[in-house]
């Protein structure tokens, strides 16, 4: 597990760009944090670090649940904040995207029973107006689930 203090949105995006270089193909990354914790900001950096994709085109899919960013790689970006029932995720076939590209999931606690057995977990916490504490780890068993 690693920790960092991020002092601005730009540092958060840079952290995402750096993280992108370390991810294996088809990684699943679950982002935990309160509203406005910086989840989408970090994903902007991650997507731009994975491929030549403009950060300003990376938006939270709050109302549509899923955005797909295509380039040299494919990134599936879920925002499950408005998901009412975890089974909706399966009914929409979203679980079929596990292993098909990089998968970023905001609000993964909404689908806890349907998370894969192994994924990366990133937790962002407010520590000041613009400052965030970020923790990155890997989950590979039931004990560390949301």
- Average the pLDDT over 52-75 and give the result: 92
For residue 15, the model assigns a pLDDT of 97
Residue 67's CATH number: 3.40.50.300
Mean pLDDT of 78-82: 95
Q: What's the pLDDT score for residue 81?
A: 95
Query: Given the structure tokens 């000041």, which residue do they identify?
Result: 128
Q: What is the pTM of this model?
A: 0.92
Nearest to residue 76, comparing CAs of 98, 107, 93, 55? 98
> Is residue 129 classed as helix, strand or coil in its secondary structure?
coil
Strand ranges across the sheet with 28-32: 2-6, 132-139, 119-126, 28-32, 102-106, 74-79, 66-70
Rounded distance between C-alpha atoms, residue 103 and residue 78, angstroms: 8
Average pLDDT, the chain: 93
CA atoms of 62 and 25, how far apart (whole Å): 25
Range of the domain at 110: 2-144
At 47 the three-state DSSP class reads helix
Whether the pLDDT of residue 12 is over 60: the answer is: yes
In this prediction, residue 52 carries a pLDDT of 85
Q: Percent of the chain having pLDDT more than 90? A: 88
pLDDT of residue 123: 97
Q: How many domains does the chain have?
A: 1
Q: Once rounded to an integer, what is the mean pLDDT over residues 91-118?
A: 94
More confident residue, 63 or 145: 63
């Amino acid at each position: 597990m690693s920790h960092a203090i991020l002092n601005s949105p730009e540092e958060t995006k840079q952290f995402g760009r750096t993280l992108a270089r370390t991810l294996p193909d088809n990684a699943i990354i679950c982002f935990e944090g309160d509203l406005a914790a910086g989840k989408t900001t970090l994903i902007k950096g991650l997507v731009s670090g994975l491929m030549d994709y403009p950060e300003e085109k990376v938006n939270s899919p709050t109302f549509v649940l899923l955005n797909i960013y295509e380039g040299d790689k494919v990134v599936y970006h879920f925002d499950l904040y408005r998901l009412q029932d975890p089974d909706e995720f399966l009914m929409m076939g979203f679980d079929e995207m596990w292993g098909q590209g990089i998968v970023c999931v905001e609000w993964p606690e909404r689908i806890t029973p349907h998370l894969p057995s192994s994924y990366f977990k990133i937790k962002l916490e407010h520590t000041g107006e613009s400052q965030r504490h970020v923790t990155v780890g890997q989950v590979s068993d039931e004990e560390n689930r949301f």
